Amino acid sequence: MIIVKYEKLDKMEKVTKRNVTIEYFINKWLKDYHNTNLDEVTKLHPEWENNPREHIHDFYKKYAVTKEQHDEWHEWAIKEIMRIWRISKKRAERAFTFDYLNCAPNTKE
């Protein structure tokens, strides 16, 4: 469902189903709750970019959010999918299931 490269979004004003990416959803919670984005994170931690699979747990642990923030972000993501694809809430929740696993923030304990 979400396939386009992140770099293309910087130049586009409106996110559509042709240009939306997982990074778009990750950047939303990074921006709102940590005042950063994926570009800045990779500049701060270049080793994460070189070998992302090895450092993915470090990334999600360092940029965790509260349960309330997570719920707020999830609600926004479902509404955004509904808007982008013009589908019902039920279909949006089903469509976002697997992408959610790749882009949802960890919650702090």
Give the pLDDT confidence of 13-41 residue by residue, as tens digits.
Answer: 577 777 788 899 999 999 999 999 999 99
- CA angle (75 as vertex; 42, 95 as ends), nearest 5: 80
Contact (CB, 8 A) for 72 and 80: no
CA-based nearest residue to 65, from 98, 97, 28: 28
CA-based nearest residue to 67, from 33, 25, 101: 33
Residue 106 pLDDT more than 90?
yes
User: What does the pLDDT look like over 68-79, one tens digit per residue?
Assistant: 999 999 999 999
